[in-house]
């Protein structure tokens, strides 16, 4: 995960990563404004997201990169990427094609309401 | 942080925490649908959020609980809390009073657009 990344150094210096070199990336639907999911990005995943326009994440469980929709076809066309005031969280605005959740739900937050 | 928490055991068993016992909590404005900020919660912060209706977080830098608006007056009245499909991220829908960001911006994602 700590490979040399091609991420723009001007961005890389503003990123505050956790101990694993990751930041959470909140993915929001640009149309419905629903929060769809949260993924994790290292420098390389962010670089790929910014340059390919496809939501690209680091899987903490599988320890590999994954592109949203690569297997399901439910792709995320990236419209906007923002870094928060502390530099430790990303907000990614996307055009989501089909359900965002691997369970088939529209969002990953649809199924379990605590309050 | 690993104190015994009063969090409902039925919820606690569904939570998948990171190595520090935390999950990210995405805070969204229930009216504007803006993503306002991302904070971190352990079991106790979630318990307090659910039972007091005030957004309560764990500060990773200060290693203490904090209640949104406690010093700024810019409180978050919690309307809804959802757990994601993996049990490792929370979505908190709030009525935000005033700017959500400590910099005075409306959201923590207003200032730094990468794409």
Q: What is the pTM of this model?
A: 0.96
Structure tokens at A41: 């990005």
CB-based contact B85 A78, cutoff 8 Å: no
In a mutational test of the A interface, the residue from B19, B35, B81 whose CB has the highest number of chain A CBs within 10 Å is: B35
pLDDT one-digit tens code per residue, B13-54: 999 999 999 999 999 999 999 999 999 999 999 999 999 999
- Contact A26/B26 with Cβ under 8 angstroms? yes
- Which pLDDT score is estimated for A5? 86
What pLDDT shows up at residue B5? 86
Please state the ipTM of this predicted complex: 0.95
Å between A63 CA and nearest CA of chain B: 15
What letter would DSSP give residue A56?
A: E
Residues in Cβ contact with B27 at an 8 Å cutoff, skipping those fewer than 6 apart: B35, B36, B37, B38, B39, B55, B68, B76, B92, B94, B96, B100
Q: Which residues of A touch B47 (CB under 8 A)?
A: none
Q: Which residues pair with B12 in a beta bridge?
A: none
């Amino acid at each position: 995960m700590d490979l040399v990344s091609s991420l723009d150094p001007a961005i890389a210096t503003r990123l505050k990563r956790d101990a694993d070199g990751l930041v959470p990336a909140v993915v929001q639907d640009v149309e419905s404004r629903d929060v769809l999911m949260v993924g994790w990005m290292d420098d390389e995943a962010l670089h790929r997201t910014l340059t390919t326009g496809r939501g690209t994440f680091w899987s903490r469980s599988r320890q590999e990169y994954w592109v949203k929709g690569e297997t399901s076809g439910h792709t995320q066309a990236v419209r906007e990427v923002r870094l928060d005031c502390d530099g430790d969280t990303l907000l990614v605005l996307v055009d989501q094609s089909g359900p965002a959740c691997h369970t088939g739900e529209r969002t990953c937050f649809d199924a379990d309401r605590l309050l």
